[in-house]
A and B are shown apart, each in its own frame.
Chain A
Amino acid sequence: DTGVSQNPRHKITKRGQNVTFRCDPISEHNRLYWYRQTLGQGPEFLTYFQNEAQLEKSRLLSDRFSAERPKGSFSTLEIQRTEQGDSAMYLCASSPRTPQETQYFGPGTRLLVL
């Protein structure tokens, strides 16, 4: 399967704990996006990488969130000191050099903070 993969698929944690999610994009895609989706809503943009450079981070993202893409391949999203409001589906997408507007999504990581 050459699609976008995300791990873990599900994560249950207690409030205050740190969590880290991983995304492996389609191999030849140089752009990578993280989104967050809650029930009944469309995905909400979190951050964007072009190769290893993080070029934009949503103003909605608190300092507890950090993302990396160290070698321009896989990416990690870390949430520190989780809060119940962080419970959501975290989606990763990648896009090719052309057409760069098309984004292909992974299955998501569903986070539940108790």
Chain B
Amino acid sequence: QKEVEQDPGPLSVPEGAIVSLNCTYSNSAFQYFMWYRQYSRKGPELLMYTYSSGNKEDGRFTAQVDKSSKYISLFIRDSQPSDSATYLCAMSAENAGNNRKLIWGLGTSLAVNP
């Protein structure tokens, strides 16, 4: 079993839809949870960062963490064609030497159709 599971999709939605992206994980030591957006042939771009459980909102994006269920979500409201990209969840724990290496999901490919 992979430490982080993420449905690769693809996910196709009409413009303006609410998008829900999810990851599950198995390592209870994870405390830091990130969502990255990656356009084709580009590096990942940090979207949201959450520590421990709870919600965080930034504009059209909301990140949720449920540590009891080992489940994290990213919601995108009023989705736009420019949101079309691959969304990767990543998480880390406190490791020796303050190494916060990220453990990643496979990424979910999202297409928002005009």
Contact = CB atoms under 8 A, between A and B. Distances in A.
Given A41-B106, A55-B99, A106 B92 contact: no
Nearest to A106: B43
Nearest to A105: B43
Contacts of B8: 40
B83 to A, nearest CB: 19
A50 interface: yes
A65 interface: no
B32 interface: yes
A1 interface: no
Contacts of A101: 32, 34, 49, 51, 92, 100
Contacts of B88: 42-43
Interface residues of B, number: 30
A35 B38 CA distance: 14
A101 B51 CA distance: 9
Given A55-B97, A101-B92, A91 B41 contact: no
A91 to B, nearest CB: 6
Contacts of B34: 101-103
A107 B102 CA distance: 17
Interface of B: 4, 6, 8, 32, 34, 36, 41-46, 49, 51, 88, 90, 92, 95-107
Contacts of B45: 105
Nearest to B93: A101
Contact of A91 (B4, B43, B97): B43
B104 A42 contact: yes
Given A40-B106, A42-B106, A101-B92, A56 B49 contact: no
Nearest to B31: A101
A100 B97 contact: no
Contact of A107 (B43, B46, B100): B43
B90 A50 contact: no
Given A41-B106, A42-B105, A101-B49, A108 B43 contact: yes
Counting from the closest, the 9 A-B pairs by CB-CB distance are A42-B104, A105-B43, A55-B97, A101-B32, A45-B101, A48-B99, A107-B43, A108-B43, A105-B44
